[in-house]
Amino acid sequence: MKIGELRNGMKRVNVEAKVVEKSAPREVLARFSDTTHKVATAVIADDTGKIKLTLWNDQINQVNVNDTVKVENGYVTSFRGEIQLNVGKYGKLTVE
């Protein structure tokens, strides 16, 4: 699937794209417990567009600018008016 085809609410999304940007990680408090998690955002792009990819904990160090990443079984959400791609706990992130 191409980035240009992604829409809010889509599930079971498979995308392969190049990382063009990556934010610094920040710590967030988990909603239902007192644990903290690290989260960062990567911008991935293909020839149809770009989208933010949410990275959690160990995923942050796996992904670098200019890497090609493959997201399998991901899902699309909208956050602050922008659609984002999420791997989720049932998805898989692979760095090529």
* CATH code for position 8: 2.40.50.140
* pLDDT computed for residue 30 by the predictor: 86
* pLDDT computed for residue 33 by the predictor: 86
- The CA-based angle 4-17-39, given to 5 degrees, is 100
Residues 63 and 59: their CA atoms lie apart, in Å, by 7
Domain containing residue 21? 3-95
Whole-angstrom CA distances from 12 to 25, 40, 64, 67 are 26, 22, 24, 22
* pLDDT computed for residue 81 by the predictor: 92
* pLDDT computed for residue 32 by the predictor: 86
> What is the tally of structural domains in the chain?
1
How remote is the C-alpha of 25 from its chain's centroid?
Answer: 13
* pLDDT computed for residue 90 by the predictor: 94
Q: 66 by DSSP, 3-state: which? A: coil
Q: 32 by DSSP, 3-state: which? A: coil
* pLDDT computed for residue 5 by the predictor: 98
**pLDDT mean by block of 10 residues, the chain; 96 residues:** 98 98 95 91 98 96 97 96 94 96
Alpha-carbon dihedral 93, 88, 34, 43, rounded to 10 degrees? 60
